Chains A and B, each alone.
Chain A
Amino acid sequence: MTVIDLKNVTRKFGDLTAVRSVSLSMEKGICYALLGPNGAGKTTLSKMIGGVLPRHEGEMRVLGMDPWKMQSEVKAHLGVVMQSDALDDELNVLENLRIYGLFFWLKGRAFRERVAELLEFVSLTGREKMPTQALSGGMKRRLLIARALLSDPEILLLDEPTTGLDPQVRQVIWTTLRKLMEKGMTILLTTHYMEEASQLADRVGILDQGQLITEGSPTELIHRTLPSCVLEFDERESPGDAAVPDGSLVEHHGDRVYVFDDDETALRNWLGEHGISAPHLRQTSLEDVFLKLTGRGLHE
Chain B
Amino acid sequence: MSNARPPTRPVRAPSVVKRVASVWVRHWRVYSDTFVANATPAVLEPVFFLLAVGLGVGRFVDTEFAGLDFASFMAPGVLAMTCVYTASFEATYGTWVRLRFQQTYEAMRATPLTVRDIFAGELLWCATKGALFGTIVGLVLLAFGKIVSPYALLIPVFGFVTAMAFGGLALTVTSLVKNMNHFQFYFTIGLTPLVFFSGLMFPVNTLPDALQGLAYALPMFHVIESFRLIISGTNHVTVSWAWACPIVLVVLASFFGWLGVHRMSGRMLK
Question: Using a CB–CB distance below 8 Å, which chain A residues touch chain B?
Answer: 1-3, 5, 7, 25, 50, 52-54, 59, 61, 63-65, 71-73, 75-78, 80, 82, 84, 86-91, 95, 99-100, 102-105, 148, 151
Q: Are A80 and B5 in contact (CB under 8 A)?
A: no
Give Cα A52–Cα B9 distance, bound, in whole angstroms.
21
Q: Are B114 and A102 in contact (CB under 8 A)?
A: no
> Could you pull out 5 A-B pairs where Cβ atoms are within 8 angstroms?
A2-B5, A5-B2, A71-B114, A86-B107, A102-B22
Question: Per-residue 0/1 for B157-196: is the Cβ within 8 Å of any A Cβ (1 yes, 0 no)?
Answer: 0000000000000000000000000000000000000000
Give Cα A77–Cα B107 distance, bound, in whole angstroms.
15
Q: In this assembly, does B109 line the interface, its C-beta being within 8 Å of a C-beta of chain A?
A: yes
Contacts of B117 in A (CB 8 A): 72
Known contacts A75-B111, A78-B110, A100-B111; is-contact A3 B22 (Cβ 8 Å): no
Contacts of A148 in B (CB 8 A): 110
Q: In this assembly, does B67 line the interface, its C-beta being within 8 Å of a C-beta of chain A?
A: no
Question: Using a CB–CB distance below 8 Å, which chain B residues touch chain A?
Answer: 1-7, 9, 11-14, 18-19, 22-23, 25-26, 29-30, 102-104, 106-114, 117, 269
Give Cα A65–Cα B3 distance, bound, in whole angstroms.
9
> Which of A72, A88, A95 meets B102, CB within 8 Å?
A88
Q: Are A104 and B111 in contact (CB under 8 A)?
A: yes
Contacts of B11 in A (CB 8 A): 73
Q: Are B19 and A73 in contact (CB under 8 A)?
A: no
Q: Are B1 and A1 in contact (CB under 8 A)?
A: no
Given contacts A77-B12, A100-B107, A103-B19, 7 further A-B contacts (CB under 8 A): A59-B1, A63-B4, A72-B13, A72-B112, A72-B114, A76-B112, A99-B25
Q: Are B25 and A75 in contact (CB under 8 A)?
A: no
In the A-B complex, the 7 residue pairs with the closest CB atoms: A64-B5, A105-B14, A103-B111, A80-B110, A72-B13, A76-B12, A76-B13
A56 to chain B, nearest CB (A): 12
Known contacts A5-B1, A61-B4; is-contact A91 B102 (Cβ 8 Å): no
Q: Are B112 and A86 in contact (CB under 8 A)?
A: no
Contacts of B1 in A (CB 8 A): 5, 7, 59, 61
Give Cα A26–Cα B109 distance, bound, in whole angstroms.
23
Known contacts A76-B112, A88-B102; is-contact A63 B14 (Cβ 8 Å): no
Give Cα A61–Cα B103 distance, bound, in whole angstroms.
28
Contacts of A87 in B (CB 8 A): 107
Known contacts A59-B1, A105-B18; is-contact A72 B113 (Cβ 8 Å): yes
Residue in chain A with minimal CB distance to B23: A103
> Which of A1, A7, A52, A77 meets B109, CB within 8 Å?
A52
Contacts of A72 in B (CB 8 A): 13-14, 19, 112-114, 117
Residue in chain A with minimal CB distance to B111: A103
Residue in chain B with minimal CB distance to A85: B103
B28 to chain A, nearest CB (A): 10
Contacts of B18 in A (CB 8 A): 105
Contacts of A88 in B (CB 8 A): 26, 30, 102, 104, 107
Residue in chain B with minimal CB distance to A98: B29
Q: Are B25 and A102 in contact (CB under 8 A)?
A: yes
Give Cα A251–Cα B5 distance, bound, in whole angstroms.
44
Residue in chain B with minimal CB distance to A78: B110
Residue in chain B with minimal CB distance to A105: B14
Contacts of B113 in A (CB 8 A): 72, 75, 103
